[in-house]
């Protein structure tokens, strides 16, 4: 294959354009007033947006979108996650990716499940012990005790026994 000569300037311009940093992104009015769709279009074009929880100003995903979308509000990303239009995944780094791309990562997820199955199963006695203790101390509300584990949500932070936020992540 014969190499095609390209100037450094042309390469820089191409990369800036591909990263949506040359031309202004259409306004929210151009998307029928739908800010979510405007943010989704940027995420689709970028293919993913890296998440960085360390934030001197704001988390990286919000800075990336704000640099490309004047008036971007971080709450839009939360709405997209809540409505499952995007998902968080570790694709070389932690990223927000359009939900339409979720099936692409199934081979990776299957491989991870296969590689970690024995280690996770080895932890089963610990999980059972913790859940048993939570049930024994009435830290799992009865209305949320219908799954196999017997404990699925924390309920309220008031009442005869205070439920701890940690319970939410294990139940």
96, 130: one domain? no
Give the model's pLDDT for residue 71: 85
Over range 93-100, report the average pLDDT: 91
Q: Are both 86 and 15 inside the same structural domain? A: yes
Between CA 166 and CA 148 the distance in angstroms is: 19
The number of domains in the chain is: 2
1 in any annotated domain: no
| Residues 85, 13 share a domain | yes
Interior angle at CA 71, CA 65 and CA 72, nearest 5: 35
Give CA–CA dist 37/44, Å, rounded.
Answer: 10
- Kindly state the average pLDDT of the residues 35-50: 91
Mean pLDDT, to the nearest integer, of 19-28? 80
Last residue of a domain, one of 52, 76, 105: 105
Q: In the structure encoding, which two tokens stand for residue 92, read together?
A: 């070389």
| Domain identity same for 95 and 128 | no
In this prediction, residue 15 carries a pLDDT of 92
Residue 137's domain comprises 123-170
Rounded-to-integer distance, Cα 125 and Cα 108, Å: 27
At residue 153, the pLDDT reads 43
- Spatial neighbors of 153 by CB under 8 A, at least 6 apart, are 140, 141, 144, 168, 171
């Amino acid at each position: 294959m014969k190499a095609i000569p390209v100037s450094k300037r042309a390469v820089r311009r191409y990369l800036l354009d591909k990263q949506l940093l040359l031309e202004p992104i259409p306004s929210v009015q151009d998307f029928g007033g739908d800010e979510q769709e405007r943010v989704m279009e940027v995420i689709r074009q970028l293919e993913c947006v890296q998440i960085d929880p360390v934030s001197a100003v704001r988390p990286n995903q919000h800075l990336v979108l704000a640099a490309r979308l004047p008036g971007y509000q971080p709450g839009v990303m939360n709405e997209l996650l809540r409505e499952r239009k995007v998902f968080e995944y570790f694709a070389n780094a932690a990223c927000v990716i359009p939900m339409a791309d979720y099936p692409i990562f199934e081979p990776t997820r299957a491989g991870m499940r296969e590689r970690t199955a024995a280690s996770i199963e080895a932890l089963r006695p610990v999980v059972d012990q913790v859940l048993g203790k939570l049930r024994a101390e009435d830290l799992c509300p009865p209305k949320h005790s219908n799954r196999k584990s017997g404990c699925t949500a924390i309920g309220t932070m008031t009442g005869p026994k205070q439920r701890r936020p940690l319970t939410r992540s294990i139940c």
